[in-house]
Amino acid sequence: MPDPSIEWSDAEDGGKWLWDNYTRIRAVWADLASWMRGTRASGESEEEAQEPGILILGPGGVGKSTFAKLMTDAVHPLADMPVQYDESMDVESYTLEPPGDGGETEFVVLPGQQHRRADSWPELLRDVQDGRFRGAILFSAFGHHALGDVSYKDSALYAEHGRKKPAFLRAFLQKCRDDELRVLSDLATHLKLCSRPVWMLSVVTKQDLWWNVRSAVEDHYQSGPYSAIIDEVRNHRGAKSFRHEMVFASLIIRRLMTGRGELLKNNVAGYDQEYQLRSLWQLAVTIDALRQWEQGK
């Protein structure tokens, strides 16, 4: 793996700086992607080594598919990002590079809408328990979940909050944060019972939308109920068989809009692609730390 302690060059041309550094991040990600496809730990049979994959979960509209596409090079964060949020209807799988060796992908992204969870989650969460996954990546966004093809004015929360947009937005963000905790709690139950050493990565996305209140966000995840649940899992399993990391990132920079084109929140002024790229780098470094843990380093 290329050295993750990146030296950020001070190129005069900002565009070149971004491009050069993103190219370096890609090299690291390509390497991490091949690790994610499955490395064989000592003592494991070939069959076991092929099987365990990585589970990606989180509520709907927090960046799971975007992350999977970044990792598989299907999109470039600085160039071609999808504008429209297309809700995932079913479990999605992505093929990780390198291509050509014919291996089955084990990069499984679960649909996040609450009403879809009953269809696909119980089985895959049981798989977590049965050791089918080496790691789980849980996405959250400090409540900034994408609303799909629906107007906020048609939502139950809007009606419940006097049909006022600011009150709706406050309630929506809170409700989504509560849901993030519910998902963590579901996952934690199964991680506690998992039959193999397992790591978990919490990715808090959409940094570009909450950068102005970042210390509140960091507190929310690092000293509130979120971290209490993580501590429970750690205490239950012990540090040798459970490792957790957390990273705050912006997978892309864009305003929070509904699928009907209504603006809910602007991205924070001053949060630019340099911050974004640093966060993506941090993400890569964090994944590398999990790899090292998995490989017993």
Partner 1 sequence: MTTRTSTKKSVGNGFVEHATPLLREYTAKLEESVRNADELHDLYYLAELENGESERGSSASKRLQDERRRSIRERLARIQSRVKKLTPAINQLDRQVSQMIEHGELGSELERVELKLRLNELEDMLAAARKIKSSFPTAG
Ligand X SMILES: Nc1nc2c(ncn2[C@@H]2O[C@H](COP(=O)(O)OP(=O)(O)O)[C@@H](O)[C@H]2O)c(=O)[nH]1
88 three-class SS: coil
Read off the amino acid at residue 4. P
Burial of residue 119 (CB within 10 Å: 0-12, 13-18, 19+) is middle
Burial of residue 58 (CB within 10 Å: 0-12, 13-18, 19+) is buried
C-alpha distances (whole Å) from 91 to each of 108, 111, 120, 268 are: 7, 6, 7, 32
**Which residue's CB is nearer to partner 1, number 158 or number 281?**
158
- Residue from 22, 36, 55, 66 binding ligand X (CB under 6 A): 66
- Residue from 140, 202, 250, 286 binding ligand X (CB under 6 A): 250
Distance, in Å, from the CA atom of 154 to the CA atom of 150, rounded to the nearest integer, reads: 7
Distance, in Å, from the CA atom of 109 to the CA atom of 93, rounded to the nearest integer, reads: 6
Residue 209 touches which member of ligand X, partner 1, none, C-beta under 5-8 Å by kind: ligand X
**Which residue's CB is nearer to ligand X, number 199 or number 210?**
210
Residue 117 binds ligand X, judged by CB under 6 A? no
Residue 146 binds ligand X, judged by CB under 6 A? yes
* From 22-30, 130-138, 144-152, 273-281, span contacting partner 1 (CB under 8 A): 144-152
Q: How far is the CB of 156 from partner 1 (least distance, A)?
A: 4
Tokens of 146: 């994408």
Residue 63 binds ligand X, judged by CB under 6 A? yes
Residue 161 binds partner 1, judged by CB under 8 A? no
**Which residue's CB is nearer to partner 1, number 4 or number 259?**
259
| Interface ranges with ligand X (CB under 6 A) | 58, 60-66, 82, 85, 88, 112, 139, 146, 205-206, 208-209, 250-254, 267
